[in-house]
Amino acid sequence: MIEARIEAKISNLGKAITRLREALEQPPDNPLFLDGTIQRFEFTFELFWKTFKVLLEAEGMEIATPMEALRGAYQVGWITDEAGWLRMLRARNESSHVYDEAAARRIYEQIREGFPAMEATFDKIKSWASRLRE
């Protein structure tokens, strides 16, 4: 049962990462692309921490919050840049309250800077999950 849940989480997260990559390939000078990129980041980040939660529970950890999920992922080695992920968490928290373009552009730059870490982390957890099937 847990393997099927993990597979679903990994699959959904992979699709979200692809969609975020597509958004980041668009020019940010269009406000709709800027807003869309931030929205895609928000749901990708949510899927990340919820996937971490399921994976860490499979490792025997209890996780209730995004912060706990990030700390656990760092502890087991899925995340190597804890400070970068904490910046992404703050960006995700701030993005729900963005009302001006300057803040949106600042968040967009944080997303662009953090995206390579998201891709690398996804590869690590996908590899970890594949070992469960062996």
Q: What is the mean pLDDT of residues 104-133?
A: 91
Split at pLDDT 50, 70, 90, the class of 31 is confident
CATH of domain 2-133: 1.20.120.330
Q: What is the mean pLDDT of residues 90-112?
A: 89
- Cβ contact 114:48 at 8 Å: no
| Residue 57 zone, left/alpha/beta (φ > 0; ψ -120 to 50; rest) | alpha
Evaluate if residue 44 carries a pLDDT over 60: yes
Q: How far apart are CA 118 and CA 22, in angstroms?
A: 14
Evaluate if residue 26 carries a pLDDT over 70: yes
Give the start-to-end residue ranges of the domains of the chain. Answer: 2-133
Q: How far apart are CA 33 and CA 26, in angstroms?
A: 7
Q: How far apart are CA 41 and CA 16, in angstroms?
A: 8
